[in-house]
Amino acid sequence: MQLSDRYFARGREFLGTEVPILCGGMTWISNAQLVAAMANAGGFGCLAGGNSPAAILEAEIQRTRELTDRPFAVNLVTIAPAFPEQLEVVCRQRPQYVVFAGSFPNAREVEQVKALGSKVICFASTISIAQRMVRYGADALVLEGMEAGGHVGHVSLTVLLQQVLFEMSEVPIFVAGGIATGKMCAHLLLMGAAGVQLGTRFAVAKESCAHPRFKEKFCKANARDAVSTPQFDSRLPVVAVRALRNAGLEDFSRLQLELIAQLDAGTIHREAAQLEVEKFWMGALRRAVQEGDIERGSLMAGQSVGLVDREEAVADILADLRQGIEAELQAVRSRLLPEA
């Protein structure tokens, strides 16, 4: 028995997988092909709803079930324009796991999914959100630091570990944000994490459908290239997005200023303005992932992009992570118990 088996136990039991390593639900990337590859290799994949039309998401769920008989989740972005229709798809398809991402669901939505018999996983980017999601009935949390890519909060993983992981034990807590190596995963497991979630490293996997130019850009990027977008006006609250710096980020800043001017003029309501923001990100990300537009498309990446330098098969990534976890756990035991 390996040391890692002891630390994998809670995550394995909850997810029903060989290893408690999740591939995040990356819009336009985490499709049936990538999710099934993850599941078949022993990990846990999250099928991205993004802003896909309901019919496409339903087809992707069915396709994933054709490619694997192992557990996976459907990831819904609560602030996506297509979210209501996607939630209806989930109610019809009854997946084993549903992940609410982007922002956080209300109590009714959590109850609605749990009534299907599905397990609910919610993101938490602050201690208050973590506590609220548990009160709502979340079966597990993904504790995500601001180092992550895509929609992110404003608190670093280092602080969240102390505020949430060290203080809450009611549900399994999976940790995400800036993670790319087995060595790091080992220490998070030692801290009490039930498992870990990675996104950026899997975005450049061989099974990822991302455009070759998208993957090449990731492999050449530094950690400091992945920056978080600002909010210019409290009347237009936007969920921060971390992506590689390019002209697309400048386009987003201009869009915010244009929408704020329309708010000043009274020609647009706040809800409509927020919808325009999300439409921008969904479209810009699609152009980057599918068309390879690395200049004006959105290159959503975590700061762990600085640790990613090559394309690998999903099975090889998982094998490398598992080897790194076991090696580091053994090294820690040797440091703590040298006589053993």
Are 309 and 281 found together in one domain?
no
- The answer to whether residues 325 and 273 belong to one domain is no
Q: Are 102 and 239 in contact (CB under 8 A)?
A: yes
Looking at the domain assignment, is residue 298 inside a domain?
A: no
* Structure tokens given for 107: 């109590």
Tokens representing residue 199 in the block: 């996104």
Mark whether 251 and 177 lie in a shared domain.
Answer: no
Buried/exposed code over 304-340 (b: 16+ C-beta within 10 A; e: otherwise):
bbbebeebbebbebbbebbebbbebbeeeeeeeeeee
- Indicate whether 299 belongs to any domain: no
24 and 198 Cβ atoms separated by less than 8 Å:
yes
> Same domain, yes or no, for 186 and 243?
no
- Sheet holding 241-244: strands in order across? 150-151, 241-244, 226-228
**Domain CATH number, residue 15:** 3.20.20.70
What pLDDT does residue 282 have? 79
| 300 DSSP assignment | B
What is the structure's pLDDT at 18? 97
List the chain pLDDT tens, one digit each, 340 residues.
799 999 999 999 999 999 999 999 999 999 999 999 999 999 999 999 988 899 999 999 999 999 999 999 999 999 888 999 999 999 999 999 999 998 789 999 999 999 999 999 999 999 999 999 999 999 999 999 999 998 898 899 999 999 999 999 999 999 999 999 999 999 999 999 999 999 999 999 999 999 999 999 999 999 999 999 888 888 888 778 899 999 998 898 899 899 999 999 999 998 888 888 878 887 888 999 999 999 999 999 999 999 999 999 999 999 999 999 999 999 999 999 987 6
Are 85 and 204 in the same domain? yes
pLDDT tens for each residue of 40-99: 999 999 999 988 899 999 999 999 999 999 999 999 999 888 999 999 999 999 999 999
Residue 296, in any domain of the structure = no
- Residue 242 within any structural domain of the chain: yes
Res 280: pLDDT: 86
d(CA 223, CA 61): 33
**C-alpha to C-alpha distance for 97 and 217, rounded to whole angstroms:** 32
Same domain? 112 vs 202: yes
Amino acid (1-letter code) at residue 245 = R
**Structure-block tokens of residue 285:** 């990300």
Looking at the fold, whether 190 and 223 belong to one and the same domain comes out as no
Based on the domain organization, do 252 and 108 belong to the same domain?
no
Range of the domain at 273: 212-291
Q: Which residues contact 82 (CB under 8 A, 6 or more apart)?
A: 49, 50, 51, 52, 53, 54
pLDDT of amino acid 239: 78
User: Are 196 and 166 within one domain?
Assistant: yes
Does a structural domain hold residue 297? Answer: no
Same domain? 220 vs 144? no
Same domain, 189 and 226: no
For residue range 1-19, list pLDDT tens digits in order: 799 999 999 999 999 999 9
226 falls within a domain: yes
Does 267 map to a domain? yes
Name the domain count of the chain.
2
Whether 162 is in a domain gets the answer: yes
For residue 246 the two structure tokens come to: 């390019």
Rg (CA), the chain: 19
- pLDDT of the residue at 59: 97
Q: 220 and 192: one domain?
A: no
